[in-house]
Amino acid sequence: MRTVDWDGGAVTMIDQRALPWELRYVRLETVAAVAESIRNMTVRGAPAIGAAAGFGMALAAQESQATTVNALVADLRAKAALLKAARPTAVNLAWAVERLLRIAESGEFHTVADLRDVLLGAARQIADDDVAINSRIGAIGAKLLPEGATVLHHCNTGALATVDYGTALGVVRAAHEQGKHFHVLLDETRPRLQGSRLSAWELERLGVSYDIIPDTAAGYYMGSGEVDIILVGADRIAANGDFANKIGTYQLAILAQAHGIPFYTAAPTSTVDLNLSSGEQIPIEQRDAAEVTTPYGNAIVPAHFKARNPAFDVTPHRYLSGIITEHGIARPPFTASLRRAVAGEAL
């Protein structure tokens, strides 16, 4: 199951807004439609957004009317800005767009057709690499899960958040495929309920034991001794190990430290932004307050009630036990281990 793919001149993706009630695919034939799909969370999850943006750039090359390479590059620069503006926090989006833009600007292409072909190949490579990288993350992280453990997980970091397999839930999937027996507590993850709608749907399909819990019950289960390890994803990781993830992650990290519970994030090295020295520099997306007051079109308070809706928070690196990457588990000091991981060194 590929969350994002290319099919006959268009980007195809699972419409995650319809889950868990319906598995529905959409076909996007313009760059504007791809950007909107990222903005409205038809596709979400940092690696999946990156793959969608890569295919969006390939689509930009296909839909351009340019007859010269220089004109095509100019069109691609404009569409790159459109795609990068769709959501500001997940670094994978900008990473994928810039990767394809660098290819276009390399000066190595003499025909528009050649450049279009190479960009599509590069977008496909991003998607294929994501599957392979996440499989490695899963295999590395699975070693952290003892037999009979209870895992606490926030948001959705499975196949739906990536092209396939997953990051933090990829660790769960890998351990399950190895025959380990364990249980997963899924934070419902308000206000968009990615935990109860998406993570539960994925674990149901995999046959992994789980319970959905209110976000506010996480401390209760930690305090009662029912949580052995906490696994979350990341949308951007600063050079010092501070990381942005779905809102509610920060409080889990503090609770984990108070109860002596190992706390890990899992992410590909494409999520690491070495240009940012700390999490204070990570831009935090502020989403529509209606997601809080009228979730999925269902009003829970009067229309004039005020609300705020940050999509992410930043967890300081001091709360992390480690960062599970495709090159191994980065440990403190993260300024050194993350640079090694990004360079492709085994940890």
What CATH number is associated with residue 50? 1.20.120.420
Residue labelled with tokens 């809080």: 292
Q: Are residues 203 and 292 in the same domain?
A: yes
pTM: 0.94
Q: Are residues 76 and 164 in the same domain?
A: no
pLDDT in tens, the chain (347 residues): 799 999 989 999 999 999 999 999 999 999 999 999 999 999 999 999 999 999 999 999 999 999 999 999 999 999 999 999 999 888 899 999 999 999 999 989 999 999 999 999 999 999 999 999 999 999 999 999 999 999 999 999 999 999 999 999 999 999 999 999 999 999 999 999 999 999 999 999 999 999 999 999 999 999 999 999 999 999 999 999 999 999 999 999 999 999 999 999 999 999 999 999 999 999 999 999 999 999 988 999 999 999 999 999 999 999 999 999 999 999 999 999 999 999 999 99
Q: Are residues 26 and 153 in the same domain?
A: no
Residue 316 burial (10 A CB sphere; 0-12, 13-18, 19+): middle
Q: Are residues 66 and 164 in the same domain?
A: no
How high is the pLDDT of residue 112? 96
> For this structure, is 235 an active site residue?
yes
Q: Are residues 329 and 184 in the same domain?
A: yes
* Helix, strand, coil percentages in the chain from 3-state DSSP, rounded to 5: 45, 15, 40
302 lies in some domain: yes
How high is the pLDDT of residue 89? 87
How high is the pLDDT of residue 90? 81
Domain ends where: 103, 134, 165?
Answer: 134
31 lies in some domain: yes
Q: Are residues 12 and 70 in the same domain?
A: yes
What is the CATH number for 179? Answer: 3.40.50.10470
Q: How far is CA 111 from CA 14, 105, 214, in A?
A: 34, 13, 56
Q: Are residues 209 and 318 in the same domain?
A: yes
Total number of domains in the chain: 2
Q: Are residues 209 and 333 in the same domain?
A: yes
139 lies in some domain: no
How high is the pLDDT of residue 6? 97
Residue 314 one-letter amino acid: V
CA atoms within 13 A on the CB side of 55: 30
Q: Which of 317, 325, 136 is nearest to 239 (CA)?
A: 317
Question: Which parts of 1-68 fold into alpha helices (H)?
Answer: 31-39, 46-63
User: Of 5, 130, 235, 273, which one is the catalytic site residue?
Assistant: 235
Q: Are residues 259 and 285 in the same domain?
A: yes
Q: Are residues 9 and 116 in the same domain?
A: yes
Identify the domain containing residue 90 by its residue range: 4-134
Q: Are residues 161 and 111 in the same domain?
A: no
347 lies in some domain: no
How high is the pLDDT of residue 30? 96
261 lies in some domain: yes
For residue 55, give every residue at least 6 positions away whose Cβ sits within 8 Å of its Cβ, in sequence order, or none. 4, 5, 6, 11, 34, 123, 127
Q: Are residues 161 and 100 in the same domain?
A: no
DSSP H or E segment with residue 97: helix 91-104
DSSP per residue over 155-167, as a string? Answer: S--BGGGSSSSBS
